[in-house]
């Protein structure tokens, strides 16, 4: 099938949940590669407690080592101001002129909040959106979000998807519901474990953990102020 996937996030830090998300979607859709794209200045999150962009990139590089179809995309680090996905994906389109639209992957919590993003509801113009559920049973979140964001895209009565489903949106563009397994961990959970001096084994790769420990002082100073998100 081919195609490029993009998984955007703050990645503070990247963890095995993100990596599995990227691997599962890549395999389910037969993608050529997935770019993990850290945001430089998150519009929705305060920057207190956020590791510097360069260190989050270094952690990402360690996390994808040995997985040839996963790449790290530093595009948002080149753009100034808040890292709005709309702007980033337009810049992506400019740099990849003539290529098919990328697949922009997101968890259900991010998809359901798209209407709060800068030009969030226009994103299907620049990417094929892919929603991955939290527990495999978020088909109703998918349908409810589509009904409210892009009215007229779904018939009034239709079954909630149990398996993969692609909806052609009324205004153009497409969204896919892709129920792949998900590891129930988050960066918030990892930062809390780190703060209490607990082991991070099996939450991230050994290579990534080594990078984190090599920057232990900086990480502790930064995450001391991080609040749950
Ligand atoms: P935080 O706890 O700081 O919010 P996070 O673990 O949610 O961090 P983000 O950087 O906010 O990570 O998420 C980036 C993207 O990855 C989002 O689309 C989010 O829905 C998705 N994601 C986060 N955690 C997981 C997970 N465990 N499995 C699959 N996808 C995830
Ligand atoms: Mg999150």
pLDDT in tens, 50-88: 999 999 999 999 999 999 999 999 999 999 889 999 999
For 141-191, the pLDDT digits (tens) are: 999 999 999 999 999 889 999 899 999 999 899 999 999 999 999 999 999
pLDDT, residue 134, reads 83
CA–CA separation, 119 and 101 (whole Å): 17
On the 0-12 / 13-18 / 19+ scale of CB atoms within 10 A, 98 is exposed
For 186-214, the pLDDT digits (tens) are: 999 999 999 999 999 999 999 999 999 99
pTM here is: 0.95
pLDDT, residue 168, reads 97
Q: Is 153 in the pocket of ligand 1 (CB under 6 A)?
A: no
pLDDT, residue 228, reads 44
CB 13 within 8 A of CB 208: yes
The closest ligand to the CA of 110 turns out to be 1
Tokens representing 154 are: 């779904």
Q: How many CA atoms lie within 13 A of 121 on its CB side?
A: 12
CB 39 within 8 A of CB 8: yes
CA–CA separation, 89 and 37 (whole Å): 11
pLDDT, residue 204, reads 98
Pocket probe mutation, ligand 1, options 8, 49, 107, max atoms within 8 Å of Cβ: 107
On the 0-12 / 13-18 / 19+ scale of CB atoms within 10 A, 189 is middle
Which band of pLDDT confidence, cut at 50, 70 and 90, is reported for residue 1? low
Closest to 173 measured CA to CA, from 100, 116, 85: 100
pLDDT, residue 98, reads 94
Distance 98 CA to ligand 2 centre (A): 32
Which band of pLDDT confidence, cut at 50, 70 and 90, is reported for residue 136? low
pLDDT, residue 106, reads 94
Distance 15 CA to ligand 1 centre (A): 9
Closest to 16 measured CA to CA, from 53, 62, 51, 58: 62
Pocket probe mutation, ligand 1, options 18, 51, 53, max atoms within 8 Å of Cβ: 18
On the 0-12 / 13-18 / 19+ scale of CB atoms within 10 A, 54 is exposed
Q: Is 13 in the pocket of ligand 1 (CB under 6 A)?
A: no
The closest ligand to the CA of 190 turns out to be 1
Taking each helix axis from N to C end, the angle separating 206-214 and 53-64, rounded to the nearest 10 degrees, works out to: 150
pLDDT higher at 47 or 226: 47
Which band of pLDDT confidence, cut at 50, 70 and 90, is reported for residue 47? confident
On the 0-12 / 13-18 / 19+ scale of CB atoms within 10 A, 79 is middle
């Amino acid at each position: 099938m081919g195609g490029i996937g993009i998984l955007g996030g703050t990645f503070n830090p990247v963890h095995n949940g993100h990596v599995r998300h990227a691997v599962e979607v890549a395999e389910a859709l037969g993608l050529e590669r997935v770019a993990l794209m850290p945001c430089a200045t998150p519009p929705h999150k305060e920057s207190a407690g956020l590791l510097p962009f360069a260190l989050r990139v270094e952690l990402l590089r360690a996390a994808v080592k040995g997985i040839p179809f996963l790449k790290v995309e530093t595009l948002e680090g080149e753009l100034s101001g808040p890292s709005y996905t709309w702007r980033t994906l337009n810049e992506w389109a400019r740099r990849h002129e003539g290529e098919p639209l990328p697949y922009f992957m997101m968890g259900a919590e991010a998809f359901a909040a798209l209407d709060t993003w800068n030009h969030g509801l226009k994103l299907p113009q620049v990417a094929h959106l892919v929603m991955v559920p939290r527990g495999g049973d978020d088909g109703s979140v998918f349908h409810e979000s589509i009904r409210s964001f892009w009215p007229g895209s779904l018939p009034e009565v239709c079954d909630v998807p149990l398996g993969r489903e692609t909806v052609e949106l009324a205004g153009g563009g497409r969204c896919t519901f892709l129920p792949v397994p998900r590891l129930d961990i988050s960066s918030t959970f990892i930062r809390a474990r780190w703060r209490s001096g607990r082991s991070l084994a099996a939450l991230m790769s050994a290579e990534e953990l080594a990078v984190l420990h090599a920057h232990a002082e900086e990480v502790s100073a930064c995450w001391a102020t991080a609040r749950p998100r």
